[in-house]
Amino acid sequence: MSKPEDIKMAPNASVMFGKPTHPLSAEVIHRIGMRLARDEATVEAHLPQYFILGSTPAPRLLLVLVGSDVSQQEGVALRARSILAKLGLAHLVADVWIMADNDRLLPAVRHARCQIDLL
């Protein structure tokens, strides 16, 4: 898993994912999905809230991208942050995590049922 440097967490930290308390509108999520779909390295996207026990003061929105090519993580994250900024959402979404399809946290992200349709 690629995680943002500003999110501090121990290697075995308890990370919880869930449906956002204050979700973005369906229209905004649709616009995010349309833009993310242009990036072939992204095969799946989710917008759950997350909380790291002992590290985050409160749950925050997080854009989770499942990448098809782990070597492209950095570029995928940069492009996703740019999309959020262009849509005026950078202040609402804590950051972008890139996960491989075998990441130990991905089942919890999927269980939150916050998948973004990539159109």
- Average pLDDT value for residue range 4-18: 73
CA gap 20, 61 in Å, rounded: 7
pLDDT band at 19 (very low <50, low <70, confident <90, very high): very high
- State which H helix or E strand residue 80 sits in: helix 73-86
Residue 1 has pLDDT above 50, yes or no: no
Domains of the chain: 16-116 (3.30.70.1350)
Quote the percentage of the chain above a pLDDT of 70: 90
The predicted-structure confidence for 71-99, as pLDDT tens digits, reads as follows 777 888 899 999 999 999 999 998 899 99
pTM of the model: 0.88
